[in-house]
Amino acid sequence: MMVNIVLFGIINISLFYLNYLFFIPQFLNKKRYSVYILAIVITIVIYGFDKYGVALLFKEEVLRHKDMNGNKSVLSFLPFFISTLFTSTIFVLLSILLKFSVDWFLNERIQRDLENQRLTAELAFLKSQINPHFLFNSLNSIYSLAYQRSENTPDAILKLSEIMRYMLYECNDNKVDLTKELQYLQNYIDLQKIRFGNKAFIDFKIDGEVTDQKIVPLLLIAFIENAFKHGIANDSMLPITMFVNVNQQHLQFYIRNKKHTHNRDSIGGIGLANVKRRLDLLYPGKYNLDIRDENDTYTCELSLVL
């Protein structure tokens, strides 16, 4: 019994690793199927003869057995050889199964790593678009003030510097404090109020307890930018309305503006397309975005699991 466990175990394990480490990489992985099958068949046959040679050395323990009548007899070559072929084939199949399982898991991990790298690169690209896009719009606003020789121009430049400081130095992490992000939105709204002066009608409210919640930075600004770019801010009957409702795990953002039919951005909707893609990547299955483009008003409502 000891011979069967130790010696034949070593022989079977050596066959397992011979196939796993040599035959599969050299032949099967290179799609040399005929050579692989021939090599396996020859190896299994050779191993069968080797096992029979070992069995002859330990005939009493290996080959001698009791028949159905209880009489002891010696197992002949052919039955023993067939049984060794069967055992060897099982070990070959197990090594193939292990090799393909390991390769599959490795390929899956590589694919996940590549996908993560692709998503990271895409997010970096999307985020890189935000600063120039925002700066372009803000400078246009300040240019309008300077052109009108407004006394509010220095305040607007100071407000823009505060906004850019946040964008450049405080929102480099994947998520930031919700309090900072809401303050950033408030600063942008204040900048727009300076631009429009007393003619701006903006209703911005925050409801709920803002504590230690986190949010992806620069996520909501695109909605507000579009409201000022494409909407009418000087209508007291229909002001730009923005509402944030937040609890520990959820955020609801609502914005509505009156449409300005003559204000069309020839560059296109970079901001909204950007934020939709970022939501898909960073909050998959955790958000709901409802955009209603009606005759006179444009409304966006975002529900987000923080």
Q: Tokens standing for 219?
A: 């996520």
Q: Where are the beta strands (DSSP E) in 1-127?
A: 64-66, 72-74
Cβ contact 154:145 at 8 Å: no
Name the residue type at position 133. H
Walking along the chain (306 residues) 10 residues at a time, the average pLDDT comes out as 71 90 88 90 90 76 60 72 89 91 84 67 59 69 80 83 80 84 89 77 90 87 84 85 92 90 51 81 90 88 92
Per-residue model confidence (pLDDT) at position 103: 86
Give per-residue burial for 121-134: e unless 16+ CB within 10 Å, then b.
eebeebbeebeebb
The predicted-structure confidence for 42-97, as pLDDT tens digits, reads as follows 999 998 888 888 777 777 666 666 555 555 666 777 888 888 899 899 999 999 99
- Burial level of 156, CB count in 10 A (0-12/13-18/19+)? buried
Per-residue model confidence (pLDDT) at position 121: 60
> Which residues, including other chains, have CB under 8 Å from residue 113's CB and lie 6 or more apart?
none
**CA-based nearest residue to 230, from 291, 279, 161:** 291
**CA-based nearest residue to 212, from 255, 167, 257, 247:** 247
Per-residue model confidence (pLDDT) at position 44: 92
**Is the overall model pTM greater than 0.85, yes or no?**
no
> Which residues, including other chains, have CB under 8 Å from residue 114's CB and lie 6 or more apart?
none
Other Cβ atoms closer than 10 A to 280: 12
- Sign of torsion over alpha carbons 289, 294, 298, 299: negative
Query: How far is it, in rounded angstroms, from Cα 2 to Cα 5?
Result: 5
Q: Which domains does the chain have, with CATH numbers?
A: 2-110 (no CATH), 150-305 (3.30.565.10)
